[in-house]
Structure 1
Amino acid sequence: MSVLLESSSTSAAMRRNFWAGVWRVMKRKPSRLVGAVLMAGFAFMGVFGPMFYPDPLPRDPNMIIKPPSWEHWLGTDDQGRDVIALVVTGSRYVLLAALVTAVITVVVGTGIGLFSGFKRGRWDTVLMRLTDMKLTIPGLPLLLVLSTVWKFNSAVQMGSVLGLLSWGGVARAVRSQTLSLRERGFIEAARGLGLSTRHIVGKELLPSMAPYIAMNMLIAITAGVYAQVGLFFLGVLPYESNNWGQMLNTAVFRSGALTVPSALGYLLGPLLAILLLTLAIVLVVDAMDEIFNPRLREE
């Protein structure tokens, strides 16, 4: 019983020390705190933001493509709807699709990379050739072809397709990390004790690579946002849901935002959202790099 209590207290102390270290790293550069706050803000906006607006958004024929004002800080669109309201309500589709993209990218890529790097031999050869084939397939042309037969009616569908087309790089990177870690002493000791492959991969290798995988997931979110916004901006997907890419397409090609000053706010709204989301992810990844890198913490 005393052993269990001692183990529990040790684990609690380690968690306290970890979070204390996280707080020190975040305080060292205030910009990292800004990034964390922005990330939390986007998460809140994606989950709860649309609840603050009626569905559909009210349209005012007398307010079509108006410049920014006290009532509409970024102006209105070609249907008289507030641009900020469009950005907020359109965030759910974009962020959910990006999250699904990142989860599938990381899960598939990490699974293949771990298994391939740890097993080596025939499995490694087969999986890496499959990965190489995946990396040679041009993503954008394939998405353009798929969009002609699949309308991507939901964010989950969009994220699933993007994720299944994006795991190659993660698989290659995780395999390289696995090849390095499998020669370390603690892995050799685990194999010497006769522990199963599932235990070694799940309990020894995976926790060691968790920070690297988490950073890849954040980067995959950014890539997912860019990919789907680009597709909607090009006009190859239907306008069945409000999102930032559809806003950019409408602002440029229907509202003339590049030549009409009053429509500039309609273009800036989604661009600012994408810029701030990217900035938040970059700042959080920078903080994570120092949190999980002992040499950086000591500098």
Structure 2
Amino acid sequence: MLAIGLVGAVGPLLTGDPHAVSGAVLRPPSGAHWLGTTETGQDMLAQLTLATRGSVLVGLVVGAIATLVSILVGVVGGYVGGKTDETFSLVTNVVLVVPSLPLAIVIANYLDGGGLLVTILVIAMTTWAAPTRVLRAQARSVRERDYVTAAKASGERSWRIVCVEILPNLLPVVAAQFVFAVIFAVLTEAGLAFLGLAGFGSLTWGTLLYYAQNAQALILGAWWWFIPPGLLMAVFGCGLSLINFAIDEIIDPNLRSATRQRKASR
């Protein structure tokens, strides 16, 4: 994950212009072009580094937006309760009922692409509901703890109780939901781009696959055009999934004890 992040952050500064056209059309990897070229002679390594930055940016921004909204709706609603919680829960359930990817496809098709920002907002609109349900349930459980009751009795304001007493105890859950949102965002953006519904102003792994599919790279045998972005996408999702599993072990004491027993048996 660190290597992919470095490729996205530093790679575009070292690989030159990804949109520069040359006469070397559909060349396989060589010393001049380490990952070959496209049908218009563009360097695939330069395009891949810029696409890595775009996909990672989409994942992080969508993850941050979805996590922030889920905290505001789930944690605040779960703590306050009453009509506020019922209203938030109703809106969340409505969003959960509609399948996320088809809804994102419909919205993106209606907006006709619109650039990377619109793609981020579309994915964020369909991502926040699932983590909201989890955080709401956790907040409703934590608000009954003795230290929260003591904070209420001492006259602390509600916002301080949420920020100081409840939210720090939910950080492992928040981190796990953030990682899940990043994975979902990257895969959803790739799906929208592959269908031609994402904004094509910026390169991402999905847009590289879209261009490769349109140029019939598979039929032409230009494996260097579609395997690197697909492989990076798979490694990125796998790495985040492993991080999520590690966070689950931190959250769940039963998983921690099972891991210790496996290590002891070895």
TM range (shorter): 0.7 to 0.9
May I ask how many residue pairs the two structures share in their alignment? 258
Which of 147, 164, 169 aligns to 1:208? It is 169
Is 1:266 paired with 2:228?
no
Aligned twin of 1:41: 3
Once residues 253 and 109 of structure 2 are traced to their aligned partners in structure 1, the CA distance between those partners, rounded to angstroms, is: 49
Amino acid across the alignment from 1:99: L
Which of 173, 178, 183 aligns to 1:217? It is 178
Q: Secondary structure at the match of 2:217?
A: coil
Amino acid across the alignment from 2:224: G
Is 1:286 paired with 2:245?
yes
Aligned twin of 2:155: 194
Asked if 2 retains the 8 angstrom alpha-carbon contact of 1:96 and 1:156, the reply is: no
Q: Deviations over 1:151-196 (max 9, x none)?
A: 5554333222211221111111101111221222222222232322
Check 1:294–1:140 CA distance in 2 against 1; reply closer, same or farther (3 A cut): closer
Once residues 291 and 173 of structure 1 are traced to their aligned partners in structure 2, the CA distance between those partners, rounded to angstroms, is: 16
Is 1:145 paired with 2:106?
yes
**Largest Rg, 1 or 2:** 1
Amino acid across the alignment from 1:60: S
Q: Secondary structure at the match of 1:65?
A: coil
Amino acid across the alignment from 1:283: L
Aligned twin of 2:120: 159
Aligned twin of 1:51: 13
Which of 254, 277, 282 aligns to 2:236? It is 277
Once residues 238 and 209 of structure 1 are traced to their aligned partners in structure 2, the CA distance between those partners, rounded to angstroms, is: 35
Asked if 1 retains the 8 angstrom alpha-carbon contact of 2:172 and 2:247, the reply is: yes
Q: Secondary structure at the match of 2:151?
A: helix
Long gaps (5+) in structure 2: 261-266
Give the alignment's TM-score, normalised by structure 2: 0.87
Asked if 1 retains the 8 angstrom alpha-carbon contact of 2:63 and 2:182, the reply is: yes
Aligned twin of 2:263: none
Deviation of the 1:252 alpha carbon: 1.9
Taking the TM superposition and a 5 Å limit, the aligned residue runs for 1:8-87 are 39-61=1-23, 63-87=24-48
Q: Secondary structure at the match of 1:275?
A: helix
Q: Secondary structure at the match of 1:75?
A: coil
Once residues 291 and 238 of structure 1 are traced to their aligned partners in structure 2, the CA distance between those partners, rounded to angstroms, is: 38
Deviation of the 1:103 alpha carbon: 0.8
Q: Which has the higher contact order (CA 8 A, sep 6+)?
A: 1
Deviation of the 1:203 alpha carbon: 0.4
